[in-house]
Structures are given as C-alpha cells and as structure tokens.
Chain A
Amino acid sequence: MLSKRIIPCLDIKDGRTVKGVNFQDLQDAGDPVALAAQYAVQGADELVFLDITATEDARETMASLVLEVSKAIDIPFTVGGGIRSVSDVEKLLKNGADKISINSSAVRNPQLINDLAQAFGSQCVVVAIDAKQIDQSWRVHLVGGKVPTELHLFDWAKEAADRGAGEILFTSMDHDGSKHGYAIDALARLSEDLSIPLIASGGAGTEQHFLDAFTQGKVDAVLAASVFHYGVIPIPILKTYLASQGIPIRK
C-alpha cells in the first residue's frame, strides 16, 4: 500500500541552511548535506531544498550543493527557488535532483510547466503555490508571498495539473508560521479537484495537525520546517503516532 509522506523543508541561503536547527548530534547545523543525511536516517520520506537567495551566483552554489546531497542521501529530494528555464532544470536533474519545484516563474510563464513536463516528464515537475484568503477567496501570491495576483488558487492548481505538473505543493500563507494547523478546507477541495498528488504546507504545530491534513485534508504528503528543525516533533515519533492512528506510514 502506498504510504503517506513526511517531508522536511530546508531553506538554503548561499549554500547554507537558514533556519536554526536543534539536532544534538549535528556538528554544523548550517550544513545542508549533514542535515539532509540526518533527516534521511530519521525516516524522512523525501526532502525539499528551497533556495531563498536565487541570484545567479547562488544558483551555481545550489547546483553543486545538489550534487553533494545526491551523493550523501538515498531518498528522493526536490529543489526549488529561482528556477526559470528548461536549462536551469536540466542542470539540477543532471546533478541528481529527483524533482524541481517552480512557483512564481510558472505563474509568469505557464508554458514553462508544459515545457518541463515534455522535456523531463511530469513526475519531476512540482508546482508550488502560495496563497492567502482575501475576501473569502484564495488568491495566489508570488515572490515568497510578497506579490498578490488575480489568480485563484483552485483555478491555478487545476491549470497547472492540466499543463503537466506531477504534484502540487500548496502553502497557505494564512497558516504558515502559525502552528495552528494546515488549511484543511482548502486542502480537501484541492485534493478533490486534482488527480495528481497534493502536498500540504504551512501551519504544522502538533502531531494532530499532521493527522488532520491526511484524514480531513486528504493530502498525499505533508511538508514542514520548524517543527522538525527545532526538534519539536521528531520524525520517528510523528511516524509512530500517525501509524497508531491508522495512517499508512513507511517504517
């Protein structure tokens, strides 16, 4: 049976992890490769690396980081941030990334989704969507949530899937950082609308929140950053809890 996935997200700036990390046996908390290896051992099902610098120089740094990560870990990982073209993606995949995620660049140039799916297959194209509610309607935002658009979450997710996205990663900006749980209603609707896998992001604070995302939000995977980085919810404990609640989990 296909298990539900637990995905830690690592923010990368100039080749280093940004958010503080609270792993006792980690010498250098800023080293993404060591951190990735640690997560793999803990039982993370996948990893996401998000390059938050995304300048030209940083993209080169990211490409070599991807190669190092690919040498060190034996679970799948996704790379996002600043990807604008087929050649950007080609370099990352060649260096060993399994999937890439695009966000603002897909909104600005939706054809990029088609082009990437055509060139590399839908399975490696994750479309990340940041949205927040404005007057009861979920509006897509760009540039890490700074720039609002007229696009509606549900329309855009559907379009991305139709264009060849293999997976949707939805972050609710209203919930992100709140630790009050994922945007369950929006997730449930997305999951209903889409016939591709859905990853929930934004709001995880307790084990129950992860459970709710699976049981009520009907998602295929959950992504979180700080609860894992700060050791608030260790992955092995989360997995044991979810399994005890009847969620199919990889042991």
Chain B
Amino acid sequence: MNLVIIDYGAGNIQSIIHAFDRLGVQARLTKDAQAISSADRVIFPGVGAAGSAMSQLRATGLNELIPQLKQPVLGICLGMQLMCRHSEENNTDGLGIFQVDVVEFDNTLLKVPQMGWNSLSALTSPLFNQLPQDPYVYMVHSYYAPICNQTAAVAEYGIPYSAALHRDNFWGTQFHPEKSSQVGSKILQQFLSLTS
C-alpha cells in the first residue's frame, strides 16, 4: 500500500504517521505532485488557519492537483474544511470538492473551540462500517461544515453539523481519526481497504 500524506507545512503529522504505523502501513510525507498522483491513498491533513494553509497550497500548485486526484483521498480536520467551497475563517476560498461553506460556531452560545469527544450518528459511508454503536471521536475545531447533500456523518454541538463529508473518491472528517482511539483506528483501516 502506497500511502502518502500531503506535506504543506500543516502541524502534527507525527500522530497520523504513528496511527498508520500501528496498522502496519508506512505513510510517506511528500509535496511532490508525481508521488501524490501515483499513490494508492492520499491523506490531506491540516492544523492551523484556513487562510495561510490555502496560500501554502496555492504557492505549490497543490490546489490544482488535489481536486483532480482519482484515488481515495481523506481530508482531516482543516484538510476537510479546505476541501469545501469556502471558509468563513480568513474569508478563504477552498478547493470546492464539497459543495458547502464552512462557518464559525457561535461563541456567545458555545465554548469555542469545541474540544473533546463527540458521538457520530447518521453514518452513510463505507468508511464507517464496523463501528460500535454510538461511536465517539476526537474533535478540536472552531469552524464547521453545515449539514449538506454530501454529509456522511453527523455530530451535534449546539446544532447538528457535518462530522464527515463524502463525494466520489473524496472523504473528509472533521474529527481526528488518528487521535480517536479504537474507533479512529477502525476508520483508518476502512479507508485503507476501500475499493474505489
């Protein structure tokens, strides 16, 4: 299994590498377009702010490459948000893979960032096969994707929102599967065994 993690300066990549190590797959960190295009699986990570992350992608041309990928691609946290049409964070245009606009939680009603373990419901993707009842995953975020046609899992924080998105060969999780204990590990395992 040729698994790459897109390298564009996003933080805490170690955890993702270690999570795949535990599954017996060595992930390779790369910014090389050829290596990314020819990989079996692509992880699009992201921690930090939308504006600077998108600038990094544009500077390296990765913003053109990512939407054209044909193999299964998994965006994690900010990675998922950047795959959306737009983010309210730094008023940033995204990659437009998911037809939804990312907005900010209302911090007059909620503690922001949302930090901790939240439960998933309305799971509609093979990524979530074999999960236990009422699975909990680890979330850390201040912005969220509302429910839309491409919502593949729902979580609730004040309101229901997209915990995961799916379109064709693209998946995105707002949560961190690499930090979500056995539930997260199962999801990553499923991502590795997807057939499309």
Contact = CB atoms under 8 A, between A and B. Distances in A.
A71 interface: yes
Nearest to A77: B179
Determine chain B's interface SS by DSSP, over half rule: mixed
Contacts of B141: 123
Nearest to B19: A74
A93 B12 contact: yes
Determine chain A's interface SS by DSSP, over half rule: loop
A2 B157 contact: yes
Contact of A76 (B21, B107, B179): B179
Interface in A184-243: 194-197, 220-221
A1 B119 contact: yes
B14 A3 contact: no
B63 interface: no
A94 interface: yes
B111 A121 contact: no
A196 B113 contact: yes
Interface in A8-34: none
Interface string B28-58: 0000000000000000000111000000000
B143 to A, nearest CB: 11
A251 B179 contact: no
B148 interface: no
B112 A3 contact: no
A218 to B, nearest CB: 10
Interface residues of A, number: 34
Interface in B115-138: 115-119, 134, 136, 138
Nearest to B184: A74
Contacts of B48: 120-121
Nearest to A221: B116
A70 interface: yes
Interface in A87-107: 93-98
Interface string A31-44: 00000000010000
Given A123-B115, A195-B112, 10 more contacts: A1-B156, A3-B119, A74-B19, A74-B181, A74-B185, A76-B176, A120-B11, A121-B47, A195-B108, A196-B112
Interface of B: 11-12, 14-15, 18-19, 21-22, 47-49, 107-108, 110-119, 134, 136, 138-142, 156-157, 176, 178-182, 184-185
What 9 A-B pairs come out closest when comparing CB atoms? A96-B14, A250-B136, A250-B117, A123-B140, A3-B117, A195-B107, A2-B118, A71-B18, A76-B179
Interface of A: 1-5, 40, 45, 67, 70-71, 74-76, 93-98, 120-124, 166-167, 194-197, 220-221, 250-251
